[in-house]
Structure 1
Amino acid sequence: MRPFSADLRPEPQKPLYELGLQLAFMCAFANLLSHANRQILVVLVERINSDLHISDTQFGILMGPAFSVAYAISTIIIAEFTDANSKVRMISIGVFVWSAATFASAFVESFEGLLLCRALVGLGQSILSPAAYTLLASHYPKNQLGRISSLYAMGSFLGSALVLIVGGFFAEQSLQKPEFELWSNFSIARWRLIFLWVGGVGLIYSLVFVWLHKNTEHHQQYRQQPEQQNKQEQSPTPHVPYPEVVRYLWKYRDCYRFYILGFSSYSVALFCIIAWGPAFFIRQLDMNQSQAGLVLALIMGTANLSGVWASGYIMDKLRERGLKQAPYIIGTVGAGITALTAVGFYSAFSEQWHHNWVLLGFFLCAHFASYPIAPSASTNQLMTAIPMRARAYAIFLCVNNLLAMGAGLSLVGYLNDYVFSEQEAIGKSLALVVFLSACAASVLLGLGAKPYLRKLDRNAQHQGQYL
């Protein structure tokens, strides 16, 4: 396998906030829009089922496979173009595609039409994270990559929380005033307005993203001396065919298998908490739908945001102390604590403690379940050759989404229906899946630390050549 040049630019010592955070905030806002688009259907279940005459099974397809299968397949394919082209341009295209699909969802009148729109949303969003993390890694130094990755990831929780609140408002309004007149002699169901608003904002943002990026380019100039800039301009990053990427990952499979399976197992806990949280609140804490949505939004805005930021901050501090395996330390310890908090919140509601104690246990579980996001993204950027980073992360995302959104979420429902055989057992099913996935993640990431260190040492020994 031929060598690929690493990023040989000197590590800057300037504090994070002197670098300018415009680019990070731009990508974070794109991530916010991404998850707002992704979660819209959660708060419109009853209205869509009623108006479009969609069954629960069909709605389950729209929520799961329609998005996740399209996302998983397209992220592998499109990452080829992401590695070979401008990351800014690819992000802009992705935002445009998923926003246009969301905007069009306001006008569909059938299950098939909404299915197509959801698949296009998955296709567009599959572009974002591989391109964004690669772009951020090229603009910020390694010792601050954890916090930058955390800042980007925080957009996902803000977007999800925002759509739970705003979407709930539109859903309630549609019960009181079903129709909204767009213009003379043309009106649509009021619940459809959220598709127009969210999709419209995304369409506008996709057009200004490239222009905004030009105003941030000066923030990376300090990282390169003029002679280094000239050298890089003369030696552009080579394009690597996909088969060679696969051979690269297979050659270092002892490292990548623990990375992919460990962090994907950890993500199962997070996905299950977010997806099944409202059902848990409604069935076992006697909340109504609007209360459950508000509580989950508050948890996302506090527990998840603080968790994702804390993990990135701690990771950077550990790396500054010379602990190169910091992402795996965060993952191993964080997953272990997540498993313990799952036992804690299960014990709280099974012993019929006050609801505040149950919510505290759920809050802590959600906080620590957010720890894998920044380390998993940073790890790929630190150990993978530059021409292959987007595709390596795309492969991780493919496995991550299929395992977490597919197997993990389905397992909770299966346990509830066929093992415990009662809807009220949702807390037991949720706690068990979170506990098992977190335990598996802790073991896998603990085993993955040494192979990861060997990979970093090999990179350093070859003086910037990833072999």
Structure 2
Amino acid sequence: MSEQHNAAAAGPGAAKPSGYRYVVLAMLILAYTFNFLDRQILGILAKPIKDEFHLTDGQFGLMGGLAFALLYTTLAIPIAWLADRFSRVWIMTAALTLWSGFTALCGFVGGFGQLFLARMGVGIGEAGGVAPAYSLIADYFPKQQRARALAAYAFGIPLGTAAGTLVGGLLAVRYGWRSAFVVVGALGVLLAPLFRLVMRDPPRGGADREAGAPVAPPAPAAPLGEVVRLLAAKPSFWLLALGAASSSVCGYGVAAWLPSFFIRSLGLTLAQTAWYYSGIAFIGGLLGIWLGGAMADRLGAKSKGAYPLTPAVAFVISVPCFLLAMNSGALVGGLGGQAALAVAFVIFLIPTGLNLTWLGPITAAVQHLAPAPMRTTASALFLLINNLLGIAVGVYYFGLVSDLLKPTFGAESLRWAIYTGMGFYLLAALLFLLASRRLARDWVE
């Protein structure tokens, strides 16, 4: 469907009562939940997969990181180029079907190589899932609400991580790890027709105009080179993208390896880990994401620098909290095993929430670095930097360092690998601090 035809078809949808945009947001959150469910389910299934295929931590990190990220990040650019010109809803529907189908296929692989290729397929599908959603949200919600709307969209991260961990872990215990891939993949394929039925494409930039202003014809989408030149000249874009990438190295890496840490260092079973980590991801993630979006919308009305400054402060606070959580068992060991786990659970909620506060503010700020016809492509370029480093490097980094430290630390090598990764959060805080000083000059109203 062409952009012109799509804009005309979406005209009535754009005129729907404002409550319809919350229906759209709910569907986008649901799709993003499946996006992260299919993406993060690998973490809870690490032990049974490694045991069956005899993999090292480094090999598993390579499969969980590079296999997914390689095509996920590179294909996002041409798909975003299409989404700036054609129906974003159709592109997201096809993407949801594709990544869910490849997730189900992961349950039928016969070895490391086949699973690596299947995860690449998941990445191909998910390449069309996020940047178009950012653009849709920016066209449904006015600028003063975008950080909160994008933060609400990011609820899909803790919801998907929690669901993937819990459902994947419990299915693996009862029916084997292959069943987990098949079940969640099939559910995503079934969701795709409903997504297409409910969603409508609004006019590009419609939420940017003043109330009562006439609807202008959609501006033509800009060539890719023009978008690249625009963003390349804005230091704040690079600081935001590299800051997000630094945080994602640790964020994605820790999310992938914490289930293994709980099993190895805390002595939890696979089923116990599924309940334990899903609770941390769900509660801490939801609270942290919403806090970041709400604070940025409120403080950003006074100073645009608040958008990156809010997560910068959060990262600095989160590092000592995370280290404390990982060692809380030793600190309160006299209380007994269950009491120590309960204390660790509560402390883990703090850094889990703080480390996700960046999602609403930073993605909202990126939407304001380019005009409406360029937003999908600009988001994809941001995601390229963020995910290529965050996913490909992060998941592999912790697995590789764990293997390197194993001769010295034995079964606790993963704990020490995670310790080394905390520096990426501090680097992210520094880059966001620098971005806060420049953002106002690069902002596009």
**TM-score in terms of structure 2 length:** 0.85
Q: Residue 276 of structure 2: which of 291, 295, 300 is its match?
A: 295
Query: What's the CA shift for 1:171?
Result: 1.3
Q: Residue 318 of structure 2: which of 309, 313, 338 is its match?
A: 338
Query: What's the CA shift for 1:137?
Result: 0.6
Query: What's the CA shift for 1:214?
Result: 4.0
Q: Which amino acid aligns with 2:278?
A: A
Structure 2 contact 66–393 (Cα < 8 Å) conserved: no
Structure 2 contact 280–345 (Cα < 8 Å) conserved: no
Aligned to 1:249: 231
Distance in 2 between the 1:194 and 1:416 partners?
A: 26
Structure 2 contact 32–129 (Cα < 8 Å) conserved: yes
Structure 2 contact 72–124 (Cα < 8 Å) conserved: yes
**Could you say if the C-alpha distance between residues 432 and 370 of structure 1 is closer, same or farther in structure 2, counting changes exceeding 3 Å?**
same
Aligned to 2:195: 209
**Could you say if the C-alpha distance between residues 442 and 141 of structure 1 is closer, same or farther in structure 2, counting changes exceeding 3 Å?**
same
**Could you say if the C-alpha distance between residues 274 and 141 of structure 1 is closer, same or farther in structure 2, counting changes exceeding 3 Å?**
same
Aligned to 2:72: 71
**Could you say if the C-alpha distance between residues 173 and 419 of structure 1 is closer, same or farther in structure 2, counting changes exceeding 3 Å?**
closer
Deviations 1:307-357 (A, max 9, x none): 11111111112134x222221121221111112323433564565656244
Structure 2 contact 247–428 (Cα < 8 Å) conserved: yes
Aligned to 2:434: 447
- Tell me how large the CA RMSD over aligned residues is: 2.8
Distance in 1 between the 2:78 and 2:19 partners?
A: 37
Query: What's the CA shift for 1:54?
Result: 6.1
SS at structure 2 position matched to 1:84:
coil
Q: Residue 291 of structure 2: which of 310, 315, 340 is its match?
A: 310
Structure 1 contact 341–361 (Cα < 8 Å) conserved: yes
- Whose Rg is larger? 1
Q: Residue 324 of structure 1: which of 290, 296, 304 is its match?
A: 304
Runs (5+) with no aligned partner, structure 1: 1-15, 175-189, 461-467
Distance in 1 between the 2:161 and 2:23 partners?
A: 22
Distance in 2 between the 1:165 and 1:84 partners?
A: 39
Aligned to 1:396: 382
Distance in 2 between the 1:162 and 1:98 partners?
A: 17
Structure 2 contact 141–207 (Cα < 8 Å) conserved: no
Structure 1 contact 76–391 (Cα < 8 Å) conserved: yes
Distance in 2 between the 1:222 and 1:407 partners?
A: 37
**Could you say if the C-alpha distance between residues 340 and 134 of structure 1 is closer, same or farther in structure 2, counting changes exceeding 3 Å?**
same
Larger displacement relative to structure 2 (283-292 or 190-199)? 190-199
1:237 matches 2:219:
yes
Distance in 1 between the 2:295 and 2:273 partners?
A: 31
Structure 1 contact 416–429 (Cα < 8 Å) conserved: yes
Deviations 1:214-260 (A, max 9, x none): 4999xx8997767611xx22xx22222212222112222x2212111
Aligned to 1:431: 419
Aligned to 2:10: none
Query: What's the CA shift for 1:443?
Result: 1.2
Aligned to 1:149: 150
Distance in 1 between the 2:353 and 2:253 partners?
A: 13
Question: After superposition, where does 1:73-88 map in structure 2 within 5 Å?
Answer: 73-88=74-89
Distance in 2 between the 1:418 and 1:49 partners?
A: 17
Structure 2 contact 62–392 (Cα < 8 Å) conserved: no
Runs (5+) with no aligned partner, structure 2: 1-16
Q: Residue 269 of structure 1: which of 239, 250, 271 is its match?
A: 250
**Could you say if the C-alpha distance between residues 282 and 49 of structure 1 is closer, same or farther in structure 2, counting changes exceeding 3 Å?**
closer
**Could you say if the C-alpha distance between residues 222 and 427 of structure 1 is closer, same or farther in structure 2, counting changes exceeding 3 Å?**
closer
Structure 1 contact 267–372 (Cα < 8 Å) conserved: no
Distance in 2 between the 1:108 and 1:265 partners?
A: 33
Question: After superposition, where does 1:89-104 map in structure 2 within 5 Å?
Answer: 89-104=90-105
Q: Residue 355 of structure 2: which of 346, 353, 369 is its match?
A: 369
Deviations 1:44-79 (A, max 9, x none): 44555566x564465444322211112121112322
**Could you say if the C-alpha distance between residues 75 and 380 of structure 1 is closer, same or farther in structure 2, counting changes exceeding 3 Å?**
same
Q: Which amino acid aligns with 2:231?
A: L
Structure 1 contact 269–369 (Cα < 8 Å) conserved: no
Distance in 2 between the 1:67 and 1:362 partners?
A: 27
Structure 2 contact 68–392 (Cα < 8 Å) conserved: no
Identity of aligned residues (%): 27
Structure 1 contact 280–426 (Cα < 8 Å) conserved: yes
Structure 2 contact 77–380 (Cα < 8 Å) conserved: yes
**Could you say if the C-alpha distance between residues 115 and 367 of structure 1 is closer, same or farther in structure 2, counting changes exceeding 3 Å?**
same
Distance in 2 between the 1:347 and 1:418 partners?
A: 22
SS at structure 2 position matched to 1:127:
coil
Distance in 1 between the 2:278 and 2:160 partners?
A: 10
Query: What's the CA shift for 1:414?
Result: 4.1
**Could you say if the C-alpha distance between residues 304 and 359 of structure 1 is closer, same or farther in structure 2, counting changes exceeding 3 Å?**
same
Aligned to 1:383: 369
Distance in 1 between the 2:26 and 2:47 partners?
A: 34
SS at structure 2 position matched to 1:240:
coil
SS at structure 2 position matched to 1:362:
helix
Instruction: Report how many aligned residue pairs link the two structures.
Output: 418
Deviations 1:274-333 (A, max 9, x none): 12212222232222222122211000110111111111111112134x222221121221
**Could you say if the C-alpha distance between residues 241 and 172 of structure 1 is closer, same or farther in structure 2, counting changes exceeding 3 Å?**
same
SS at structure 2 position matched to 1:203:
helix
**Could you say if the C-alpha distance between residues 124 and 246 of structure 1 is closer, same or farther in structure 2, counting changes exceeding 3 Å?**
same
Query: What's the CA shift for 1:27?
Result: 0.3
Distance in 2 between the 1:191 and 1:282 partners?
A: 16
Q: Which amino acid aligns with 2:322?
A: A
Distance in 1 between the 2:38 and 2:292 partners?
A: 26
Distance in 2 between the 1:84 and 1:438 partners?
A: 36
Structure 1 contact 160–297 (Cα < 8 Å) conserved: yes
Query: What's the CA shift for 1:164?
Result: 1.6
1:286 matches 2:267:
yes
Distance in 2 between the 1:301 and 1:112 partners?
A: 32
Aligned to 2:173: 172
Deviations 1:170-208 (A, max 9, x none): 21222xxxxxxxxxxxxxxx6544333322222222222
Distance in 2 between the 1:196 and 1:284 partners?
A: 30
